[in-house]
A and B are shown apart, each in its own frame.
Chain A
């Protein structure tokens, strides 16, 4: 009986082998060649050539890796709390996650975007979108920490975001799910009448990086999927792809795949900016949060805004144009020259490439095929530069090597296809394991790609690693693109589900990396900069502990006089001024998390003891040979007890 049970499994395995065999009949095998090991090997103590930033997808974070090694360096919490670091648990970081819906501890982060100057990554910031509760986060690349989060109102899913313009004048936020703006209570069946696909332009202040909502454009209720902005000749323009131009609101799998073509929307943001300045827009009530982390006070604060400027395309002629695009496009990607715009029609049989100069001419000639909601539709042929024929199945997303070639990910046929700009001919293809989503060439969406590697961000992992039960690691693959043929070099696991990644030369960031926070510049209101100033103060039922830590003791480390019913705030300052000497802090029964405190930093953990006793606290981050000794006690007495506040260390 058992023998028979094995039979179908064996058949399945053989079939699988044949299937993979077919797949491998291309130029590269499933295995990297022997010499690949040499090219990705970074010897102990040596550094990688590139930083790779991957979005965490459903973990709401950003992964930081080195290339070519694929080694993970850091996970930056952005939209999700991180108990390990205390992010979203300390009093200082909680405001970063405030929204008009209250405190939101999680989100779905999709697209990391490096800030640009002159169309090239400049190493200042990394932006990333939150899809579920629409927001954009900004990470400071000197500290690799979240510096700001801004909420996007009137949006149902911030997916086509946060791609930036050539000099980071704006980052964009197009809604994937169209919704009735202003939270109207309307029947879902009134979709065509009431729903709007809002496209938001977020201004970025050039020195501070501070974000603010400049204006929103009320676009038709399509699903705005991805975006990229122009550069060089197309500097003034942003491009958005969409699916569901059918305007379906149920069973989109079928109902939003009816038409042969959807659209790429070209928005002249410069013109929109002018219209906004001229007062063309309407000020509309909308509540949204803007949360900023101040590096001097080590504290985030939230500002609530109540109004947004909305532009209606009907009243703003020349501001935007629709370019027909086959079929349900995902990626919309602009080549390094700024002339070609590539649509990744995931259900299409060709890859359409648009010409910016032809588009300009078509607008001048009014070569239109109609309009939607006051937005002219340019005739397909009038703006088309060419089509890549038979590229593969399910073209999704394209990046460029700066040497005249484009690389498109093919989800359905699970491969990367290399083709030539201008002739549109396919020159190479290589399988991915399995089902590639986006891909990433360092600087591959910029004016000056580092055309050395392409990273495949795969959706399915299956048998590539040791199994870990039903949930498997996500997987990325590194390919060399230096020669004529792409070459698989390395598989490496990733945290979360990277939807997209960006990479840049390590030298751009490494030299600016902050090592410590200077104690002299610490403006935290509860900072203690010398041990003699450490103390405990009672304010009603609040007990504030002004605590210091240095290898390897706390001051104070004995605290008495706390009572059940008190709310205790441990304001802990790390007095170290040496690189890589963080200390941790945890106290028994804390209902939030621990916190890690970097040299020179102050962070606060709230603790509400629920019963009398003596509770230890200790350092959670191994700091010295006497780390185990870095501990203390806090005594908690019953309500109404007469134990006075007292404290000390080394008594």
Chain B
């Protein structure tokens, strides 16, 4: 009887721990997001893209990027609302262009090593996946995001 009761207490404790760690995604966000978001603003992420030179918006390239985005990304991302992953409007203001391209081209390593990407996985839980996008296509998607965000 005594054992049973102790067992029950342990169970409750564990359950509470699980709940709190389950809620950890939210909690982490509260405590760490602000700090991380700041550091990530200068972060280019991990992957094949180390430097992107941005100039005036290339509408032709943005058009190509829109086509690729609709083909390969819209199953999980909308521009204006959270879907499987975050809404992407404003992403060029939140992240460096290099970071955006690395997230598209190298998501599994990003989710393992990049603090911002790890944070996002904690929130959305479905890992972003590589969709067989070439570097050129990723650059085009970036141009499309810039257009959406009002770049000239």
Using CB atoms and an 8 Å cutoff, list the residues of chain A in contact with chain B: 516, 518-520, 529-532, 548, 550-553, 555, 575-578, 581, 600, 624-626, 650
Contacts and interface: CB of A to CB of B under 8 A. Distances in A.
Given A551-B84, A577-B131, A626 B75 contact: no
B83 interface: yes
Interface stretch (B38-46, B56-64, B90-98, B121-129): B121-129
B70 interface: yes
A interface, over-half SS? loop
For chain B, the bracket of interface size reads: 10 to 19
What 7 A-B pairs have minimum CB-CB distances, sorted nearest first? A577-B132, A625-B125, A578-B129, A550-B75, A531-B75, A577-B131, A624-B126
7 contacts: A530-B70, A530-B75, A531-B75, A551-B129, A555-B75, A577-B129, A626-B84
Interface of B: 70-72, 74-76, 83-84, 108, 125-127, 129-132
Contacts of A548: 75
Given A548-B75, A626-B125, A578 B70 contact: no
Contact of B125 (A529, A576, A581, A624): A624
B132 A532 contact: no
Contacts of A577: 72, 129-132
B77 to A, nearest CB: 11
Contacts of B130: 577-578
Contacts of A553: 75, 84
Given A576-B129, A624-B127, A550 B74 contact: no
A394 B48 CA distance: 62
B84 A552 contact: yes
Nearest to B83: A650
Contacts of A578: 108, 129-131
Contacts of B108: 578
A552 B75 contact: no
Nearest to A529: B71
Which of A516, A575, A581, A600: most chain B Cβ within 10 A?
A575
A395 to B, nearest CB: 53
A532 B75 CA distance: 8
B71 A530 contact: yes
A263 to B, nearest CB: 57
A552 B126 contact: yes
A551 B126 contact: yes
A532 B125 contact: no
B75 A516 contact: no
A550 B76 contact: yes
A325 to B, nearest CB: 56
A554 to B, nearest CB: 10
Contacts of A581: 129
A219 B70 CA distance: 63
Given A555-B75, A575-B75, 16 more contacts: A518-B132, A519-B132, A530-B72, A550-B75, A550-B76, A551-B76, A551-B126, A551-B129, A575-B72, A576-B129, A577-B130, A578-B108, A578-B129, A626-B84, A626-B126, A650-B83
Contacts of A576: 129, 131
Contacts of B84: 550-553, 626
Contacts of B76: 550-551
A244 B84 CA distance: 67
Contacts of A532: 70, 74
Contacts of B129: 550-551, 576-578, 581
A4 B56 CA distance: 99
A492 B85 CA distance: 45
